[in-house]
Amino acid sequence: MEKHQLIERSIIKKYRKEIWNRFIKSVIRYDLVNEGDKIAVCISGGKDSMLMAKAMQLLQKHGKFSFDLVFLVMDPGYNNRNRQVIESNANLLKVPITVFESSIYDIVAGTEQSPCYLCAKMRRGALYSKAKELGCNKIALGHHFDDVIETTLMSMLYSAEIKTMMPKLKSSNFEDMELIRPMYMVREDDILAWKRYNELEFIRCACRLTEKCVLGDDGIGSKRQEMKALIKKLKRDTPGVDMNIFTSMHNVNLDTVIEYRKKGQRHSFLEDYDADKVDHNE
């Protein structure tokens, strides 16, 4: 078997429980892929998006319905080494990438406030725009289980709101376009194990403005790293606490929520408090 075939086999066989089954469960549970879709699988060059690309290829090959894929790589101003690593891995994995250029890094380099936020927003918009131009109705991003629970905690602790990373979203700026996250239930540790088993090396941070993380450090000291450390500490005392966080996002008890927003409108428990005669704490 060729290298790419061995890698594909490892997803379906060796890591069937940890990766393939959870990938499929995400697709089915959140209704992410439908008959006739044309999906732009967005590849940053990291382990998550590259594994997603292979899983989507396998789903297309073995799935029950027909859909099209475009493997989209945006070059926002990579240094030469990162660009070469991405192209080399795509060739090794037999992922037929479509690369397009942008000047996002040059633009972001000129701002002092929240460059990461601006960069992420611009990258998302550029991916939507190119995918729509190519006739796609969805873009797929490689966010995984750990990204989901870390984002939820960051929202609570640093933004003073309970806000999750959704498995799919309709675009507010690009008509008839949707974002999906097929890796939603796949854990980062299992992605790392798959990477090591297949002796693969991916870029970890493509930011030209932080050259120290070209192929290594991906942001020690960031808020996300703080969340990783916090969850790791909590798991030492309470195994399964990460799954509890994930499950709680699917199990919100609105009877005990003081206030919430829906479609821009704020609602309070006082709105129907007098009409509700049930003591929910009994």
Check if the beta carbon of residue 189 is closer than 8 Å to that of residue 206.
Answer: no
Decide the pairing of beta strands 178-180 and 168-170.
antiparallel
CA distance 212 to 268: 47
What pTM value is reported for the model? 0.89
Identify residue 267 by its one-letter amino acid code.
Answer: H
Residues 6+ apart with CB under 8 A from 262: none
CATH architecture designation of domain 3-272: 3-Layer(aba) Sandwich (3.40)
* CA 185 to chain CA centroid, nearest Å: 10
pLDDT for 217 equals 38
Alpha-carbon distance of 218 to 119, in angstroms, equals: 16
- The predicted pLDDT at position 222 comes to 79
Q: d(Cα 242, Cα 173) in Å, to the nearest integer? A: 33
pLDDT at 108: 64
Residue 246 confidence (pLDDT): 97
The domain segmentation of the chain, as residue ranges, is 3-272
In angstroms, the CA 183 to CA 15 distance is: 14
pLDDT, position 112: 63
pLDDT of residue 106: 61
DSSP collapsed to 3 states, the chain: CCHHHHHHHHHHCCCHHHHHHHHHHHHHHCCCCCCCCEEEEECCCCHHHHHHHHHHHHHHHHCCCCCEEEEEEEECCCCHHHHHHHHHHHHHHCCCEEEEECCHHHHHCCCCCCHHHHHHHHHHHHHHHHHHHCCCCEEECCCCHHHHHHHHHHHHHHCCCCCCCCCEEECCCCCCCEEECCCCCCCHHHHHHHHHHCCCCCCCCCCCCCHHHCCCCCCCCCHHHHHHHHHHHHHHHCCCHHHHHHHHCCCCCHHHCCEEEECCEEEEHHHHCCCCCCCCCC
Please report the pLDDT score of residue 274 as a whole number: 87
pLDDT attached to residue 214: 39
Q: Given this model, what pLDDT does residue 75 score? A: 85
The strands making up 68-75's β-sheet, listed across from edge to edge, are 97-101, 68-75, 38-42, 138-140, 178-180, 168-170
Q: What is the mean pLDDT of each run of 10 residues along the chain (282 residues)?
A: 96 98 98 98 95 98 94 86 94 96 67 64 86 97 97 94 96 95 98 98 70 41 86 95 96 94 94 74 58
